[in-house]
Structure 1
Amino acid sequence: MKTKTIRRQALFALTGASLLAASISVQADNWRGWNIHPDGYPNTVALEAFAEAVKEQTEGRVNPRVYNNAVLGDQSDAIEQTRNGALDFANFNMGPMGPIVKETNVFSLPFLFTDVDHMHTVMDGEIGQRFADALEEKGLVVLSWFDSGARSIYNTKHPINTPEDVQGLKIRVMNNDLYVEMMEALGGNATPMAYGEVYQSLTTGVLDGAENNYPSFESSNHYEAAEYYSLTEHLIIPECLCVAKASWEKLSEEDQEIVREEAMKASAMQRELWVESSEESRQIILDHGVEINEVEDKAAFQALMEPMYENFIANNPGTGELIEEIRAAQ
């Protein structure tokens, strides 16, 4: 009797251990994904479709969940969390990636790309793969490249057609020395500021303007304060759908192939949605009375950036060749 009891206890212990191990295994496959954007944003829709498809195609072996609105931390923190495996995947803009991979600072140079299609050509080709390889060395596996449109200047004072129209305007820029240098080269007063503070600063006159793409200008309601949107299209910055290298290496080759394939589909979806969203946002701000103007002579703006390029190349040896390769890519 005693022997049967011991065997039964041992069996229960083994069963409990097996269940615990299975639970841990399942938990390890529950991927947490970081996203800065709100519900309904093109990136958000594409990321959530990616998560759902990966779960379905891997039959639950990988179960991703997207956390929107940067609830898991700001972008700089999320980059570090993904690199060390605390987060499993994310959609990152290349703008803040410079401290991790210095070469990515090149994307913060104004007028680097002629247009969004040119950016796609570069990032989907051999040059983009070189950036992906450099990011992987730092713990981020790039699966596909997302779009973030072209950034333009908007303000409360007047249309911008020439660099002289920027003179003296207090313009919010992202917290990056290159963006400050860019705006100052145009004669504006560059004002780095948290994105969440921009709306009130526009309404109170602390700022005269800012710069961003159509969907962000509209979704942030900045159009309620700034009635002039000028298509300078000075910055076109790619974004990545990245997976933590630690999470990636736990996958079987079969699941890696599935995840990469679904990431490519998500990229195609995001780009298509971005075009649709941009047009919808453009119409919304037009209906609200915002004046949108084309900038006919971008060469005048580009000419003022030459000293900035010279300084950048001097301080970052080897980037001159990279810049030429990007500009020549077709």
Structure 2
Amino acid sequence: MLFGQKFKKVIKTTVACATFAALAVSTTSVNAETLRGASMFDGNHTFTKTMVKFGELVEQYYDGDVEFDLRLNGELGVEKDYVTFLNQGVAIDYTILAPSNMARFAPSIPLMDMPFLFRDLDHWNTVLSSDTLAPLEKELSDKADIVIVGYAGGGTRNLISSKRISNMDELAGHKMRVMGAPIQAQIFAAIGAAPSAISYNEVYNAIQTGVVSGLENEAASIQNLKFYEVAPNVTLTSHTITVRPIVFSGKSFRKLPEKLQAAIKKAGKEAGDFGRELETREDGIKLKQMADAGQIQVAEFADREKLLTIVKPVQDKFAASINATELLEAIRSK
């Protein structure tokens, strides 16, 4: 189904989502630049809302015709596919990604969403509002030809499991899905779990069939992808406050008019601010909605302070291995 958004200039958002109605279809100019986006989620997810906002802001700041073709619900694959597309400059031009999914091109980039990196939301927001992560942005641009234009995110990731986990003993040997970056597996192995890197679109079935007993994720994705149906236990480890860059293909970006490039950069920063506020606000609301509906059972983790002590040497070793010790210290000192 097509969902058209008509702005002052030519912007059309294409959405493969049954919950969206066809409100309007804009007239396409033959001279319009077409920017292709992708989301694994539907129109209610914060990532999608942030990308729609990005399109609106680009239109606001660009004095020219631009058309947006945004595909939802994983129509163009999953994040690992998006990374390849962006690197090659094919299929899509922009999206929102978890840093760990870009690790095969830029090994240092997972530092951005390393578990237990941020003390709290204030610390997280301070880092993302500064230029602290500039060295990682440069590596991603140099090695992957992917440009970060803004920072969204803000969901708090917790453990989601088919059985209750509330302490170190119950965590021991817990089979869980983690993202593909090695630091993710290293962190969760250090605290006693048994992590496995499984493709995101295979996780639901993997839990259902017992390949793993759960994963770690934020409320928006638990709700959107209905992970609660197979893993109804949420353990409040608060191990990650998500960093989700709004990214653009370098190959695509360089082909655009300079004024459109400038509009994309300005819009990306502001859309990131919008996305962070939105996801931070909605995170607790969505968790409560699922709890009130009886879809999840929420438990505190009794030994969280112990987890922080265990993972610090693992974080330090990873940072040293990518020559990012100073960067890690800069993040911690903010």
TM-score, normalising length from structure 2?
Answer: 0.81
CA displacement at 1:297 relative to structure 2: 4.1
Match of 2:101 in 1: 96
Determine if the alignment matches structure 1 residue 158 to structure 2 residue 164. Answer: yes
Letter in 2 for 1:326: I
Determine if the alignment matches structure 1 residue 135 to structure 2 residue 133. Answer: no
CA displacement at 1:56 relative to structure 2: 5.3
Give distance in 2, aligned partners of 1:204 and 1:244.
37
Is the CA contact 1:43–1:270 (under 8 Å) kept in the aligned structure 2? yes
Is the CA contact 2:57–2:267 (under 8 Å) kept in the aligned structure 1? yes
Q: Secondary structure at the match of 1:304?
A: helix
Letter in 1 for 2:332: R
Match of 2:52 in 1: 48
The partner residue of 2:299 within 283, 287, 293 is: 293
Determine if the alignment matches structure 1 residue 191 to structure 2 residue 191. Answer: no
The partner residue of 1:37 within 26, 41, 46 is: 41
The partner residue of 2:78 within 43, 53, 74 is: 74
Deviations 1:73-131 (A, max 9, x none): 33233223223322322222211122222221323532111123322221221212333
Determine if the alignment matches structure 1 residue 200 to structure 2 residue 199. Answer: no
Q: Secondary structure at the match of 2:116?
A: coil
Q: Secondary structure at the match of 1:111?
A: coil
Letter in 1 for 2:311: M
CA displacement at 1:42 relative to structure 2: 0.9
Is the alpha carbon distance of 1:225 and 1:327 closer, same or farther for their aligned partners in structure 2, counting shifts above 3 Å? Answer: same
Match of 1:327 in 2: 332
Is the CA contact 2:57–2:271 (under 8 Å) kept in the aligned structure 1? no
Match of 2:238 in 1: 233
Is the alpha carbon distance of 1:84 and 1:300 closer, same or farther for their aligned partners in structure 2, counting shifts above 3 Å? Answer: same
CA displacement at 1:179 relative to structure 2: 2.2
Larger Rg: 1
Instruction: Spell out the pairing of 1:59-70 with structure 2 (5 A cutoff).
Output: 59-70=63-74
Q: Secondary structure at the match of 2:287?
A: helix
Is the alpha carbon distance of 1:103 and 1:40 closer, same or farther for their aligned partners in structure 2, counting shifts above 3 Å? Answer: same
Give distance in 2, aligned partners of 1:77 and 1:200.
20
The partner residue of 1:271 within 276, 281, 291 is: 276
Is the CA contact 1:95–1:237 (under 8 Å) kept in the aligned structure 2? no
- Quick check: which one's helix share is greater? 1
CA displacement at 1:274 relative to structure 2: 1.0
Is the CA contact 2:291–2:297 (under 8 Å) kept in the aligned structure 1? yes
Match of 1:284 in 2: 289
TM-score, normalising length from structure 1?
Answer: 0.82
Is the CA contact 1:35–1:67 (under 8 Å) kept in the aligned structure 2? yes
Worse overlay, 255-264 or 214-223? 255-264
Is the alpha carbon distance of 1:201 and 1:102 closer, same or farther for their aligned partners in structure 2, counting shifts above 3 Å? Answer: closer
The partner residue of 1:222 within 208, 222, 227 is: 227
Letter in 1 for 2:70: V
Letter in 2 for 1:47: M
Give distance in 2, aligned partners of 1:33 and 1:217.
23
CA displacement at 1:166 relative to structure 2: 0.1
Is the CA contact 1:123–1:129 (under 8 Å) kept in the aligned structure 2? no
Deviations 1:252-277 (A, max 9, x none): 44333322222223222212321343
Count residues with an aligned counterpart: 304
Give distance in 1, aligned partners of 2:300 and 2:293.
18
Structure 2: 5+ residue stretches without partners? 1-27
Give distance in 2, aligned partners of 1:247 and 1:192.
30
Give distance in 1, aligned partners of 2:258 and 2:327.
33
Give distance in 1, aligned partners of 2:332 and 2:153.
18
Worse overlay, 33-42 or 72-81? 72-81
CA displacement at 1:191 relative to structure 2: 2.8
Is the CA contact 2:152–2:243 (under 8 Å) kept in the aligned structure 1? yes
Give distance in 1, aligned partners of 2:219 and 2:266.
29
RMSD: 2.6
Letter in 1 for 2:40: I
Match of 2:117 in 1: 112
Worse overlay, 148-157 or 58-67? 58-67
Letter in 2 for 1:105: P
Q: Secondary structure at the match of 2:31?
A: helix
Q: Secondary structure at the match of 1:31?
A: strand
Give distance in 2, aligned partners of 1:200 and 1:84.
30
Is the alpha carbon distance of 1:184 and 1:269 closer, same or farther for their aligned partners in structure 2, counting shifts above 3 Å? Answer: same
